[in-house]
Chains A and B, each alone.
Chain A
C-alpha cells in the first residue's frame, strides 16, 4: 500500500472549516484513500473514503486531486468535539479485507 504524508498538527477555530491535507504521491490506480479519526483513548472512527471522485457524507468531504497524488479532508464547520488525530490511509482495492496501515496522522485541535 502507498505511503502517506500528513502534517503533524493543525489548529482550527470552532465553526470554521478544517482542511486536512494528505500527500500520497506513489498511489496506484486501484488504491483508495481512506480517512479515519481517533479521539483520545478511543478506537478509530471511519470518516470517508474515495477513489477518484470527490466524496461527501454527513461528516466530511473528501477532495482528491486529478492526478490522485494528494487529497484534502474537509470538516465544514468544526466543533470542539472534532479535536482528534486524523489518519489518511491508502489501501489497495485488490482485496475486500486486510490491514489498514496507520501513519502518525495529523493532530487537529479545534479551539473556541
Chain B
C-alpha cells in the first residue's frame, strides 16, 4: 500500500537532547513537508522540500533541521535550541507539476520533552 509512515507514534525525550523524527513515503512524490500542531491549534509549517538535496524554511524553522538525501525520506531533527518542542509533528508529501495537488499526511509523531 502506498502512503506515508512516521515513526515512532509517541516519543519521549529529556530536555536538552536532540531528537530525530522519521518520515518515509512510497508515493513517489517530489515535495515533502513538516508541520507542527499544538493543542487546539491548526498546523504550522516548519520546513519543506521540493527535490532531493534542497529544502526551504517554513514559518517556524528555528530550532529545527532537516535533510533530504533521498526522495522518499525527509527526517526532522528537533534540536535543543527549540524552546517548546513538545507538540504533535506531521509529515506530508505531494506531487509537483500537476496544478495544485493535495498534500497527503502521515499519522504524526507526538513528541513530549520532559
Residues of chain A at the chain B interface (Cβ within 8 Å) = 32, 34, 41-46, 49, 87, 91, 93, 96-105
Contact = CB atoms under 8 A, between A and B. Distances in A.
Contacts of A91: 100
Interface residues of B, number: 32
A32 B107 CA distance: 26
B11 to A, nearest CB: 14
A93 B100 contact: yes
Contacts of A42: 107-108
Contact of A102 (B43, B94, B98, B100): B43
A32 B100 contact: yes
A96 B96 contact: yes
B48 A99 contact: yes
B101 interface: yes
B42 A87 contact: yes
Nearest to A94: B100
A99 B45 contact: yes
B45 A49 contact: no
Contacts of A96: 96-101
Given A43-B106, A43-B107, A43-B108, A104 B42 contact: yes
Nearest to A98: B48
Contact of A43 (B90, B96, B98): B90
A86 to B, nearest CB: 11
A40 to B, nearest CB: 11
B58 to A, nearest CB: 6
A105 B101 CA distance: 21
A105 B33 contact: no
Which 6 A-B pairs have CB atoms at the shortest separation, nearest pair first?
A43-B105, A102-B42, A46-B102, A99-B45, A102-B43, A97-B31
Interface string B75-111: 0000000000000101010101111111111111010
